[in-house]
Amino acid sequence: MKKRNGFTLIEIVVVTAAIAIIMVAIIGVVVSSFKLQNQTKSSSKVVSNGNEILNELKKNVLNSNRENISCAENGLSVTLMNTYDGNLTTISCGGGNIASSSAAMIYLNNREIIVTDCTNFVTCSTLPSLEISDVNFKFGVGATTSGVGITQNFEVNITVRN
């Protein structure tokens, strides 16, 4: 029998197909890991900024007396007076942001972050004497990192001090 050197066409096609399948699997894993990384970054930005806003809202309400708090009927703003400096502040939600009319701004620290839902941003509960007892804030925050978007809703109920 004659000895042959080299590969047959079928052997080359089989090896090429196997390499192509392996490459497609590797590319799929790499793309998935980048997508997951961007999703994690977006989620981290949303949680960080949402919690920062919640803390600022709590601080503003807790620094006010119940007789100096007034919720707008449209549910988009609340007006309160700071007991330390007597400044009147209106906190409102709209235009992709939550803003304060005083120098103590509530803002988002990243341009990729927006407020996605201001529906019933603020509601006030009253005592039988019609004084404000609780202030409830509810809003959504969203972020997009390299085409991967995340949104999350935040809510806090604050019992007003005397």
Q: pLDDT grade, residue 1 (50/70/90)?
A: low
pLDDT of residue 17: 97
More confident site: 14 or 147: 14
- Between 2 and 55, the more confident residue is 55
**115 vs 84 pLDDT, higher one:** 115
Nearest to 154, CA basis, from 52, 78, 38: 52
Pinpoint the alpha helices (H) of the chain.
9-62
The confidence band for 112, taking pLDDT boundaries of 50, 70 and 90, is confident
DSSP category for residue 56: H
Share of the chain above pLDDT 90, in %: 33
Does residue 148 register a pLDDT over 70?
yes
Entry pTM: 0.77
pLDDT of residue 83: 78
Q: Mean pLDDT of all residues in the chain? A: 86
Residue among 115, 120, 107 nearest 143 (CA) = 115
Higher pLDDT, 27 or 97: 27
Give the start-to-end residue ranges of the domains of the chain.
Answer: 9-159
* Interacting residues of 89 by C-beta distance below 8 A, sequence separation 6+: 60, 79, 80, 81, 82, 100, 101, 102, 104
